[in-house]
Structure 1
Amino acid sequence: MRVAILGLGNMGGAIARNILKAGHDLTVWNRSPDKAAALVEGGATLATTPAEAAAQAEIVFTMLADDRAVEAVTFGEDGLLAADPLCLHVGLSTVSLALARRLAEAQGDRYVSAPVFGRPPAAEAAQLSIVAAGAPASIAHAQPVFDAIGQKTFVVGEDAPAANLVKLCGNFMIMSAIEAMGEAMALAAKNGLDKQALFDVLTGTLFGAPVYRNYGPALIEGTYRPAGFPAPLGLKDMNLVAEAATGARVPMPLLGVIRDHLLQAIARDGDDVDWSAIGKAIGDNAGL
C-alpha cells in the first residue's frame, strides 16, 4: 500500500519505521527534513510539501503536535487539500473536537480520526492502541496500516470527533491517576513511609493497572527527564478537555487541579519535563 506520514517526532518517527517494516511504500514529510534522513536511507521517499506527500499516497497519516500544526498541513498552502487526487486522511494527532469536526466536514468519507494511546516505547514496539471513527469503508481501508503500528483498533462510530473525545477522556484519566498517586505518595513520604513500599502494596492489590505501574517509578525516583510525553503537550490536552467540558456544560473540578499542577511543573522545571512531573509539584507543595 502507498502510505504517507506527516510529522516525524518521537511518535511519528516510530510509526513510520513500523510502516516501512511492514513492507508498505512510504513517503514522509516533516517540517525539519533532517528528521527524515534515516527513514529515507531505509527506503522511504521524502516529500517537500504535505500536498506532494499526499499525491503519492493512497492514505496519508498525520501525527502532529497540536491543532495549529494539523490545520497548517491540511488547509494551508501546499496542504493536503491541495493534493490531486485527494486521498484518505487518517488523523493520529490529539486535537480538539472542533478541529476534528472541521476536518470531517472538509474531507467527508476521506477523513478518519484515529488518535492513539501509547508512549514512544509502545510506538516503537508497534503496540499502540488505536481509537478510530469514520466511514466503515475508510477505516477498513486503513486497517492494514493500523495492524502494522498497533496492537488493537477500537472503532467508536462514524462521527470523527467521537474518537478524539475518547482520547481526551483517556488522557484526563491518565493525569487523574498520576495526580492521585502523587498525592498519596506525598502523604506517605511526609509521614515517613517509603514510597516504594506504598507503591508495592497498591500495585500488588487494587491498583495494578498499567497507568500506575508505568508512572509510579518516576514519582518514586523523581525522574522526569527525558520526557516520554512533555508536560506542555499534557497541558495542551487538558486545555482541550476543558474546552470540551465547557461546551458540554460538564463541571470537572479535578481538571482544574491537574492544569494548575502542570503549569507549576512547567514554570518551575521547564518545558522539557514529562507530564508526570506534576508529582514534583505536589511534593513541593507538601514541603518535601
Structure 2
Amino acid sequence: MDRVGFVGLGTMGRPMVRRLLAAGHRVMVWNRSRPAVEELCAEGAEAAADLAEVFELPVVMSALSDDVSVRSLILDSGVLDGAGCRVHVNLATMSADFAAEAAQQHAQRGIGYVAAPVLGRAEVAAAGKLNVLAAGDPAALALARPVLEPLAGRIWELGDDPSRANVVKIAANFLLASAIEATAEATSLVESYGIDASAFVELISSTVFPGPVYSTYGGLMAERRYEPPGFTARLGLKDVNLALSAAHQHDVALPTGSLVRDALLEALAVGWSEHDWAVLAEVARRRAGR
C-alpha cells in the first residue's frame, strides 16, 4: 500500500507528488505532457507507460482540472474496466452531479471513490498544510487517509456522499472569489484618491481582515503581479459557475455570484484567462478608467 499512482502534474499536482515521495511512498506518475513527468522522475517518481498501468496500483490519486478532463481520461476511457485499483482519490474541484456519477461508476466496478478537493495554493501544498475536504465510503476513506495525510494540515471528513466534499469546496471558492472581487473594488476606490494600494492592503490585512486571503490577494493586486498564477481567472470562473449551478438546483439565490461571474468573464474577454484571479483588480481599475 506504499505504492501510489498519481494522475495530473499541474501547479498543484507536482508539490503533492513531492510530499508523497518525502513521506516514503513510491509514486507512479502520469501526465498528458512529458516535461512534468521527467521532472518528478528525476526526484524519485516512476513514469507510467499509460493510464491503465497507473490504475493497476491499489491507490490512485488524480489532480485534474475539471469534470471534462476527468470524464474523458478516466470515466469514458475504459481505464476503470478491470482495473486493479482499490480506491481512486479525486483531488479536483468537480460539480456535485459529476461527483455522484463518478462515485456510481467506480462502485459498479468495485473501486472505492473518495472526493478530496483541497483548500490552499501551491506553496501550501509544498508545505503539506492543505485543508483536505474528504468524503466517501468509510472503507475507501480509510484507504485514502495514509496518502492524504502527507498533504494535509487537516483532513475534514464530510460524510459518505462524495458530492458533499465538492459542494463545500465550491462554496469555499465562491467565498474566495467574492472576497477577491470586493478587495479589487476597494483597492480601486482608494487608488482613485491617491492612496497607495500597498498601504491599504497592509491596513486591512492587519486589522479588520487578518489572514491569508486579504494579505495574499491584496498583495498581488497592489503589486499588479498576476503571473505565475496560483489559481487562474479561467478556473475561478469555472468554480463560480459551479457554485451558481449548485445553488440553482436547490433554489438558492447567489446574487453576488452573478456579479463575480461577470467580472471574471470580463477578465477572460480582455485576455487574462491564465493570469491569477487576483487580476480582478485590473478589471476594477478598467471600470474606473485607469
When normalised by structure 2's length, the TM-score is: 0.94
Q: Distance in 1 between matches of 2:226 and 2:280?
A: 9
Matched, 1:94 2:96: no
> Given that residues 60 and 85 in structure 2 are in contact (C-alpha distance below 8 angstroms), is that contact kept between their aligned partners in structure 1?
no
Matched, 1:63 2:58: no
Q: Distance in 1 between matches of 2:72 and 2:82?
A: 14
Q: In the alignment, residue 59 of structure 2 is paired with which amino acid?
A: I
Q: Distance in 2 between matches of 1:205 and 1:41?
A: 45
Shift of 1:78: 4.5
Shift of 1:271: 2.5
> Given that residues 266 and 273 in structure 1 are in contact (C-alpha distance below 8 angstroms), is that contact kept between their aligned partners in structure 2?
no
Q: Using the TM superposition, name which of 89-98 and 189-198 deviates more.
A: 189-198
Q: Distance in 2 between matches of 1:77 and 1:93?
A: 18
Q: Using the TM superposition, name which of 265-274 and 114-123 deviates more.
A: 265-274
Q: Structure 1: which 5+ residue stretches go unaligned?
A: none
> Given that residues 133 and 157 in structure 1 are in contact (C-alpha distance below 8 angstroms), is that contact kept between their aligned partners in structure 2?
yes
Shift of 1:182: 1.1
Mapping of residues 199-278 of structure 1, within 5 Å: 199-278=201-280
Deviations 1:140-167 (A, max 9, x none): 2211211111211001111100000000
Aligned-residue sequence identity (percent) comes to 38
> Given that residues 49 and 78 in structure 1 are in contact (C-alpha distance below 8 angstroms), is that contact kept between their aligned partners in structure 2?
no
Q: In the alignment, residue 39 of structure 1 is paired with which amino acid?
A: L
Shift of 1:173: 0.4
Q: Distance in 2 between matches of 1:172 and 1:148?
A: 27
Q: Distance in 2 between matches of 1:86 and 1:58?
A: 4
Q: Using the TM superposition, name which of 264-273 and 163-172 deviates more.
A: 264-273
Residue equivalent to 2:123: 121
Q: Structure 2: which 5+ residue stretches go unaligned?
A: none
> Given that residues 51 and 82 in structure 1 are in contact (C-alpha distance below 8 angstroms), is that contact kept between their aligned partners in structure 2?
no
Shift of 1:85: 2.1
Runs of 4 or more, structure 1, over 6 Å off, are: none
Shift of 1:272: 2.2
Q: In the alignment, residue 205 of structure 2 is paired with which amino acid?
A: T
Give the RMSD, CA atoms, in angstroms.
Answer: 1.4
Q: Distance in 1 between matches of 2:267 and 2:82?
A: 42
